[in-house]
Each structure stands twice: as structure tokens, then as C-alpha cells.
Structure 1
Amino acid sequence: MDSKVSILGATGYAGAELMRILYNHPNAEVVHITSERHAGEHITALYPHLRGLYDMELESMRDIARIGADSDFVFIGLPHGHAMEVGRALAGMRTRIIDLGADYRFDDTDVYEAWYHVRHTHADAPRTYGLSELCRDAVRTAKIIGNAGCFTTASILALAPLAKERLVDVNTILVDAKSGVSGAGRGAKTANHFPELYDNFRAYNVAHHRHTPEIEQEIGKLAGEKATIQFTPHLVPMSRGILATCYATLKEGVTEDDVDAAYEKIYRNEPFIRLLGRGAYPSTKEVRGSNFCDIAWHIDARTHRIIVLSAIDNLVKGAAGQAVQNFNIACGFDETTGLMMTPLYP
């Protein structure tokens, strides 16, 4: 059975990517797209690449009850702090929610408030974390799915086998991740202005990036113990892609074969995880425009540390593609529906 879906915040990069993916989804019909700033405008005025594909005007979400009544699923591509108000408004309706923001990612809303500096107004929401490969069973029946973040997707998928099989000390984890500028959104910012960004490479939000507690939450659950990690993001002059380099100290007695077996065990049958294996080097260009996550690992016998490399497209597997993957799971569709796209190359 087809599902009617709406996209709140359709003019952000993630919203536009949702429209691109859902256009080719045989079981999804987009019925409403919203933007408070551009209500009444045609979507192709903002995104000409959708010309001839979507004959739709952007609406205001002020009448959210009407949008919810028309929709089986609502995708929310709004800044943090807004999705929880939508969740409250739709609480008594059959409509299910996939939030691409942070409002529903945390088990403990106190953690959300501490890192995002916004009061959580829907703490009792029936929600689950939405990293498809690791949360599939919960996603199937969840009323609200908190779609995993982009840096977190790359990092958690890289580290999950090590945490789940108890092969590393989770309090020694360091994540050094680089992202394309689309991860910062479409809004104009001086730091993202072409003359500032081009031929440049910089870190930002060192020691206090908001994806840190999200990674800690999920790695801790996998390991069965509290995890404290060090996460440092960087911005690189490209439009799409994330490469996460993750370091951890191996526990005594852990061998290379143990590590190889752990990755095979958890990801052997995952359609969107491509294991390059020990000694390989994932590249952002090799996953561009796709829902794949490429993973490889290196073991440094001298320091007894493992270095895991993970590459994704931040707008697809790190946002819209993952949201559609969760949508497929929640609807009972084949998980790859609308998503088995060949990466763009070069």
C-alpha cells in the first residue's frame, strides 16, 4: 500500500534531497511541502533541478492538523526546537513522524537540553533513535523516529562492531571527522562564503559539538557501559560527504582476526554497508549521491590502537537517505526501495 508523506522544511538541503529520493520511490506520494519563509512560492523557484518533477507550491505549516490528517508520515527537516512542537500537535493522530533534526534523538531529554540549550517540551514522546542498521526492530513500530545525525551516522557505524563485541575501551575513542559544507545548511554564513571556504580547511566546535552526546549514547548502549568520547569536526571545501577517522585502544588479547570477524558479523547482510576490509581507504567520492556507508579499518600494533575509516554522503545516508530507509522499515517495504542508487562519479 502506498503512503502519503509530507515534508516540513522542504527548502533546506535535506528537504530537497528527500524530494529527489522520494520522486523515484514507488510507494510514496508527496502531498504537502512546507516553508514558512517561502510559503506560496513554487518549489522550482528555489530548486530548479526539480523542474518538471514536482508541480507543487510551498505551504505554511500553521495548519499542521490538516497536513497531518492528509499524511501517513511527516518528515521534519527543521532546525532543532521545532519538531517537538509538531510532535505534540500530531500526538493524537495516526500520523507517524521522522525527524531529521535532534529533538527526538536522545533517550534522556536532560542531555538534549544541556547540549542544545532549548527546553524539551515533549519529553514523554513515544520515540526511538533512527539509525536503521542498529535500531531496525524499534523503528518498525515507532510513532516518532529521531533520524540519526550525519557525523553520528558515520561515526557510530564505524565503531558499532567494536563496541558491541567489547573489543575496545570505549573511553579511549577519538573521532576526527570532516564534512562538506552542505552539512552547515543553506543559510548564508560568512564562514561558508566561497572566498572564505575555498582552498581552506578548518576545525570548529572543538570539544562541544552537539553530535558528541549522540555518539556517546549509542556506543554506550552497544557496549553496555557509559562511553565518553572525544569528537572533533572539520569543514572541507566540498559540497557533500563525510569522512570519519575513529581511533580506539584495543583490549588486551584482541587480534586482527577478532576485529575482522566483528565487522563481518554485524554487517554481513546489510545492503548499505560496504566493508572494504582491513587496510583499505574509503573515499567520499565513492559514496557521493548514494545511501552507502563504506568502512575500512587499520590496526596499529605499535600503539595497540585501531583506526576505523568511514565515508558517507552527509545528505543521503547522513540525512534524507537514512530517513527514507527508516520510512521503508516502518512501512514494511523492502528496505532498499528507492535507495539503491549508484554513487555519482567522478
Structure 2
Amino acid sequence: MTKIKVGIAGATGYTALEVARLLMAHPEAEVVAATSRAEDGNTLAEVHPSLAGRCDVPIENLDAKTIAGKCDVVMCCLPHGASAETVHALVQHDVRVIDFSADFRLSSLEVYEKWYGVKHPWPERVGKTVYGMPEFFADEIATADVVANPGCYPTSAILPLSPLVKSGLIETTDIIVDSKSGVSGAGRSAKVATLYCETNESIAAYAVGSHRHGPEINDLVSRIAGAPVQTLFTPHLTPMDRGILSTIYVRKNGHSVDEMMQCLRDQYAGSPFVNVVDHLPATKHVAGTNYVQMTVRDCGDRAVLVCVIDNLAKGASGAAIQNMNVMFGKPETMGLA
């Protein structure tokens, strides 16, 4: 059996660690290359000690042609801007790419450059790259050369909102998305706001009205549902390692919560990782997994949607493995169940 050969570009962060960890459990894929300018000469296990004894792949400062020659697919775990440059170079050498940055998620170049504050290095691909959510775009993912891996917060909002908007069960305005994330969502680099003394025994809102995932939520829900949507999104940092809980407040459009629950169950009946549940979901219910739990509660003229994911799994690296499986004709759950 020939395994899928996977490269990891930008191998030092939490998402890269999670990709490597998941791939070690994948029966038909293996990490064969890893790149990082900062850690050139070390191995993945030396940079990520939890991989000790299990992953001795060297980290090298490889050019696009070299890494493309080694791999069938590259997981690009670089920040926005730098990621698009690398993805562009890789695609020129006929290797498929799953991009973890926001560089190819949005439909509009103008919106991207406004919110990310950079000139896009590959502008002609903006709006022409498949969004990596197999629950809605599996056919396009299967043949794609580049897949835009979804944002973590957007995943927790797009999945519950899109079917309800598309079915006309909720109003498309006055949607409030209140999300809380573990500290790993801020990345591995040192920042004062994510130091232990700052986050322990505390919860804090941040980027109020200015978080870059807000436009992604609006864009993708509108794209999937076929109706323009505006949401008010506020993220919060909570003192836990991983997980996202989104509490979403919507106005009922003359329909019941039972209808909403049935709509979600119908939409995700064939989706192996999305579970519509009767209980109130908690982040512990999905920690370390690629699963999603969501439910709906009645609240007068509003309904409250609750959705939980693991930000490093379904919110990043697990979704990337799911996308890789679809790209190479494997069952979506391979290496993830």
C-alpha cells in the first residue's frame, strides 16, 4: 500500500504539532518532510517533545521545488501573507496544498486586504479556492489543488447557522455570535496576553468588533445559504488549553425550535463528525477529537444555538486531515475516528 506523503510547512506551532500527532495514527498517510526557518536542523520531536520516540522527521529550510518533490500534499501552517506566497510556489511544482491561513478563505480581495492589512501575494486565487468544509464542499475539495482550511471560530458558527439561514427558519439580521476559546487558539509564540498569570482564573473579551473571523463567518454563511447575512461576533479567551464554545443568538422567523433541530439533523445526517444533540454541549465533550456537537434552545422570540468544537482539531488540524482524506479518495473518518 502506497501511503499519502505529507509535508508540513511552518512546523513549529500548535497546529503543526496536532497535524503530526494525527498523522501518526493515520493508516494511509505519513509525514515525510517538515520546514521551518527558525528550527532548521532539529527534528519534529525536538521542537515538540510530546512526539519524542515517535517522529524523527528532520525540520529543514526547503525550497518549494524540493518539498513538492517529496510530497503528495503539503499542510501549510504559516501566517497570512507568508502562507499565500508559499502556497503559490508549491502549486507551481504540482503538489496539492491545504492552507491553514486565511489567505484563500474569503470571496473578496477587497475584504481580505481591508481586514488583514496586506496586499495579497496571489490575488487571482481569492474567491476561486474551495473552502475546506466537506460538510458543504466535498465534491470541490476532492479535485482541488488548494484547499482553504476553515478558521476555528468560523467553523463553530458556520455549521449551526448555515442550514437554518438557508431554510428560512431564522432571520438573517440581528445574529449575535458569542464565542469562547482556549488559549492554544492564540498560537504558540509568546504574547503577554496569553501568559499563565494573565489567563489563569480569568476570562477576557478581545478584538471586539474587529476580529478577522467576523467577515469569514458572514461570507461563508451567506455563500452556503444563498442569502446575505450580517453577524455581530465577539471572541473571548478562557483559561483552558483547547476548545471553542459558541453561543449564538438568533431571531426565530415564525418557526419553532423543534423545526430548527430537525433541520440540523436532516442537514448533517450523512456527516460523520457533526452531532445534533439534545443535551447542552460542553468543550470537554469533544476535546481532542474532530467531532462537533450542537443544539438549539428556545428563548422567547429568539432561539439560542450552542456549538462546541476542539479548536486544534475540527477547528484546524483535524479538519485538514478530513480534507486530505476527501482529496485522496479516503473515508472522511480515516485516522480521525
TM-score, normalization: structure 2?
0.96
User: For residues 116 and 200 of structure 1, what CA distance do their matches in structure 2 show?
Assistant: 28
* Structure 1 residue 82: Cα displacement: 1.3
User: For residues 143 and 244 of structure 2, what CA distance do their matches in structure 1 show?
Assistant: 30
Percent identity for Structure 1 against Structure 2: 40
8 Å contact 2:277–2:295 — kept in the other structure?
yes
SS in 2 for 1:124: helix
* Structure 1 residue 260: Cα displacement: 2.1
SS in 1 for 2:334: coil
Query: Deviations for 1:254-277, whole angstroms, at most 9, x for unmatched residues?
Result: 123321221111011211011113
Query: Deviations for 1:138-190, whole angstroms, at most 9, x for unmatched residues?
Result: 11111110000000111111212211212111222110000000000011111
* Structure 1 residue 222: Cα displacement: 2.5
Aligned to 1:118: 118
8 Å contact 1:166–1:223 — kept in the other structure?
no
SS in 2 for 1:314: coil
8 Å contact 2:160–2:264 — kept in the other structure?
no
2:324 matched to 1:327? Answer: yes
SS in 2 for 1:186: coil
* Structure 1 residue 49: Cα displacement: 1.1
2:206 matched to 1:209? Answer: no
8 Å contact 2:9–2:34 — kept in the other structure?
yes
Query: Is there any run of 5+ residues in structure 1 with no aligned partner, and where?
Result: 341-346
User: For residues 256 and 155 of structure 1, what CA distance do their matches in structure 2 show?
Assistant: 17
Aligned to 1:299: 298
Aligned to 2:283: 284
2:321 aligned partner, one-letter code: V
SS in 2 for 1:299: strand
User: For residues 183 and 77 of structure 1, what CA distance do their matches in structure 2 show?
Assistant: 13
Aligned to 2:28: 27
1:290 aligned partner, one-letter code: T
* Structure 1 residue 93: Cα displacement: 2.7
Q: Alignment length, in residue pairs?
A: 334
8 Å contact 1:87–1:122 — kept in the other structure?
no
Bigger Cα displacement from structure 2, 304-313 vs 85-94: 85-94
Q: CA RMSD in A?
A: 1.2
User: For residues 28 and 338 of structure 1, what CA distance do their matches in structure 2 show?
Assistant: 9
SS in 2 for 1:168: coil
User: For residues 56 and 216 of structure 2, what CA distance do their matches in structure 1 show?
Assistant: 37
SS in 1 for 2:59: coil
Aligned to 1:235: 237
1:157 aligned partner, one-letter code: L
Aligned to 1:315: 312
* Structure 1 residue 45: Cα displacement: 2.0
* Structure 1 residue 91: Cα displacement: 3.1
* Structure 1 residue 30: Cα displacement: 1.1
1:93-112 aligned within 5 A: 93-112=93-112
User: For residues 45 and 69 of structure 2, what CA distance do their matches in structure 1 show?
Assistant: 26
User: For residues 77 and 261 of structure 1, what CA distance do their matches in structure 2 show?
Assistant: 37
2:262 matched to 1:265? Answer: no
Q: Which runs of 4+ in 1 moved over 6 A?
A: none
User: For residues 298 and 109 of structure 2, what CA distance do their matches in structure 1 show?
Assistant: 37
8 Å contact 1:174–1:247 — kept in the other structure?
yes
1:245-256 aligned within 5 A: 245-252=247-254, 254-256=255-257
8 Å contact 2:257–2:296 — kept in the other structure?
no
User: For residues 87 and 193 of structure 1, what CA distance do their matches in structure 2 show?
Assistant: 32
1:294 aligned partner, one-letter code: Q
8 Å contact 1:276–1:295 — kept in the other structure?
yes
8 Å contact 1:75–1:97 — kept in the other structure?
yes
TM-score, normalization: structure 1?
0.94
1:319 aligned partner, one-letter code: A
User: For residues 21 and 311 of structure 1, what CA distance do their matches in structure 2 show?
Assistant: 20
* Structure 1 residue 56: Cα displacement: 1.8
8 Å contact 2:257–2:297 — kept in the other structure?
no
SS in 2 for 1:171: coil
User: For residues 293 and 179 of structure 1, what CA distance do their matches in structure 2 show?
Assistant: 15
Bigger Cα displacement from structure 2, 114-123 vs 230-239: 114-123
